[in-house]
Amino acid sequence: MTWSSSSLYLLRASFFSTLHKYRMAATITQTMNKLRATTSAMRTFGSSMMIQHTRLHAALVASAALLVRNILHIFC
C-alpha cells in the first residue's frame, strides 16, 4: 500500500490535532488542581487574614478564567 502526499498530510494533521487536545486536557487538569488548592488554602486562612484572602481570591478567579479559556480553545 502506498501513501499519497495528501493522505500523509491528513494523518499528520490528525495526529497533531489529537496531541494538542491531550495537551490542553492536561493543562485543564493542572488548572483544576490549582483551583482546588487555592480553594482549600482560602478555607484554611479564613477571614482573619483578609489580605491573604483577597490575594487567594484573585488567584482563584485567574485560574478559573484560564480554565474557561482552555476549554473554549479545545472546542473552538
pLDDT band at 3 (very low <50, low <70, confident <90, very high): low
CA 45 vs CA 1, 16, 41, 60, 69: distances in Å = 65, 43, 6, 14, 28
Average pLDDT, the chain: 78
| Number of Cβ atoms within 10 Å of the Cβ of 71 | 15
Does the reported pTM lie above 0.75? no
H helix runs in 1-76, sequence order: 5-45, 50-75
CA 42 vs CA 3, 28, 52: distances in Å = 56, 21, 8
